[in-house]
Amino acid sequence: MKPAMSIRAVSALLVSSVLLASCSLLNGPWRGDKKAPEPPPAPVVPELPLAVPTHKFELAPDQDVVGTLQVTKTTKEDTLTDVARRFNVGYEEIVRANPKVDPWIPGEGTEIVVPTQFIIPNAPREGIVINVPQMRLFYFPPAKKGEPQVVYTHPIGIGRVGWATPQGTTKVVRRQKDPTWRPTASIIKEHKEERGEDLPRVVGPGPDNPLGRYAFYLGWPSYMIHGTNKPAGVGLRSSHGCIRLYPEDIELLFSMVPVGTKVTVVNEPFVFGFQNDKLYLQAFDVLEDDTRDWQKAQKKLVSKSIGADIQKELKKRNEQVSWDLVATVGHDPRGIPLMISEGGESLEHVVASASRVRNAVPAGASWDGKTDLPVDEATFKEMLSDRDPATPTTQGGAQSGSQSSGNGSNTSSGQGSSGQTGNAASVPSSSLTPTPPVPGKAAKTGT
């Protein structure tokens, strides 16, 4: 009997163990008392820094290069005109630096090269200096004793083909807030024939005035430096010869520039300068209506564009310009300063080393980020149609944007073509009088 009792006892113990295990299951996962482990926290991505100011720089003695190249990323809503306005660069500048990006739909998260490093043109650093291929204005206010020289720089719109911005030296003869626009007979006729529009003979201050809110009248009759009622047109060849600036930029200049200020306009597609004892080159597209023969006399013309101080320094160092590197940079101009000393440097390396910054208006910028926001797509396309017409190849090898394909500035949408070639260089104008107007054109006005 004892073995049988032993077997029953063992069986009872086994049953009790199973029941206890069942209770454990019922009290455990089945009831959800035990929580799943928490996922690890997402890594904290540090916020990118704000961009450095892009319009005002202190100049050290003999300094040729100002600013720094920057890279940002687009938001879902951004166009290239949005990014350009935010960082105080023009349309052609940002398209030239990003030739593979659709200017109207760049796409969310696309890296955009912001060309905010500039080589100062080869011209006297006095008053206002404008380099038309660079589509940029530089203002050198008089420096007070004991204070460093300062330069302000802003993107500009210039005259389109047939209405070229003159070159040479003049001065500011009059300043006007809330100017009145009086289009010439030739402009009225052009608008009627080309657009079917009847322009009024007088346009007073207000949102319909293409001069914007501020204007500087120059010693060249009918030519002005002024604002605009269409900010997205800054950085295009779309005026009748005048110089257009963003509203915030012309307002800033108007607060500083007096009557009598010297104005120098040069035509330098190749701009040279030293930085950290290295020679740099910033190349731009040759304008279509530049009559100099760049194909046959490129080296000669580029040599003349190298300033006397730079030539003196090269001679002192027993160095020479590498024309192979100049040709390489000039073949595909991006408007980004590249070193052409010691074997040069690649554009890819320069962009990879550029500062990554937040896609926001820089601290201390001239724009508040809200006023005069960019135009809608339809208006912008209309403005693009106002710029350079398609023209055949000129003497200097320049082509219209719709024909040129070797300069790297066309885009998939067709909107980003620069309308200029990229295989030549330039020389500063030595004339002290403006280039004569195109035969058959009447005096031009500020539009």
pLDDT tens digits, one per residue of 320-371: 888 888 988 988 999 999 999 877 889 999 999 999 999 999 988 888 787 7
Q: What is the pLDDT along the chain (447 residues), one digit of tens a residue?
A: 455 555 565 555 554 554 444 444 445 555 555 677 888 887 777 889 999 889 999 999 889 999 999 999 999 999 999 999 999 999 999 999 999 999 999 999 999 999 999 999 999 999 999 999 999 999 999 998 999 999 999 999 998 877 788 999 999 999 999 999 888 888 888 778 887 888 888 889 999 999 999 999 999 988 999 999 999 889 998 777 899 999 999 999 999 999 999 999 999 999 999 999 899 999 999 998 888 888 777 788 888 888 888 888 888 888 888 888 898 898 899 999 999 987 788 999 999 999 999 999 998 888 878 777 666 556 665 655 555 443 333 333 333 333 232 333 333 333 333 333 333 333 333 333 333 333 333 334 556
Q: Which residues are catalytic?
A: 226, 242
**Residue boundaries of the structural domains of the chain:** 43-178+213-430
The share of the chain scoring above pLDDT 70, in percent, equals 75
CA-CA-CA-CA torsion sign (200, 201, 202, 207): positive
Phi, psi of 322, deg, nearest 5: -80, 105
Tokens 């935010």 map to which residue? 86
Cα–Cα dist 369/356, whole Å: 20
pLDDT recorded at residue 433: 35
Alpha helices in 98-145 (DSSP H): none
Q: List the one residue out of 398, 393, 390 whose CA is nearest residue 287.
A: 398
β-bridge pairing 117-119 and 65-67:
antiparallel
pLDDT recorded at residue 217: 96
DSSP label of 295: H
pLDDT recorded at residue 90: 96
pLDDT recorded at residue 58: 96
Cα–Cα dist 231/237, whole Å: 13
pLDDT tens digits, one per residue of 6-31: 556 555 555 455 444 444 444 555 55
- Give the class (CATH, top level) of 43-178+213-430: mainly beta
Q: Where are the beta strands (DSSP E) in 199-247?
A: 214-218, 224-226, 237-239, 243-244
Tokens 């604002």 map to which residue? 227
- The CA angle 80-112-385, to the nearest 5 degrees, is 25
